[in-house]
Structure formats: structure tokens, C-alpha cells
Amino acid sequence: MVQIPALVLSFILASIYAVLFHLWLGRNLRELLALWLGALVGFGVGQIVGQVWGFVPWTLGQIHVLEATLASFLFLGVARWLRQEKKTT
């Protein structure tokens, strides 16, 4: 079971990733919301993958930082791609 401090830190890290990605490639606040949701979902998926695999290269308490960060950026890329596809149709 994940404890509250781990959830808060996960939320903060995913939010930082979304803001940095938005500063790099973002255009408007609506896109920031989509990127933020993508980062949160990706971070959660990465955390679950890290727990299931049991791979522990870099953990910060209960947080699987490496897996969660990689999944978060993967989901950020997918969210950006989906937003671009929506705009072209």
C-alpha cells in the first residue's frame, strides 16, 4: 500500500514533468491540462510497472523513479501527439 507522502511526491514529480514538457513544446493552458493528466497517468502506470517487475535501480522511498519517469514522458509524448491529431481534423 502506498502511503500519503509517496502519493504527494508522485503528484509533485508528475506535475513538474508536465510543466517542463509544456514549457518546451506547449502552446496554451488547455494543452497544459492534457499534458498534466498524461503525466499523472503515465507516472501511475510506471509506478505499477515498477512494483510488478520488482526492478529497483532507483527508488525514492516507495516510488520507482526510473520506471515512473520513463512512463510519464512516454505518456506526455502520446498526449502531445493526440492533441496534434485532434487539431488537424
Q: Which residue has the higher pLDDT, 41 or 86?
A: 41
10-14, 25-29, 69-73, 75-79: segment of lowest average pLDDT: 25-29
63 within 8 A of 47, measured Cβ to Cβ: yes
| Predicted pLDDT of residue 78 | 93
39 within 8 A of 21, measured Cβ to Cβ: yes
Task: Determine the Cα–Cα distance for residues 3 and 29; give it in Å rounded to an integer.
Answer: 31
* Domain boundaries along the sequence of the chain: 4-88
Residue 9 CA neighbour count, 13 Å, CB half: 15
Mean of the per-residue pLDDT values of the chain: 89
Tell me the per-residue pLDDT of 54-65, one tens digit each, with 9 for 90 and over: 877 788 888 999
In this prediction the pTM is 0.85
| Predicted pLDDT of residue 20 | 95
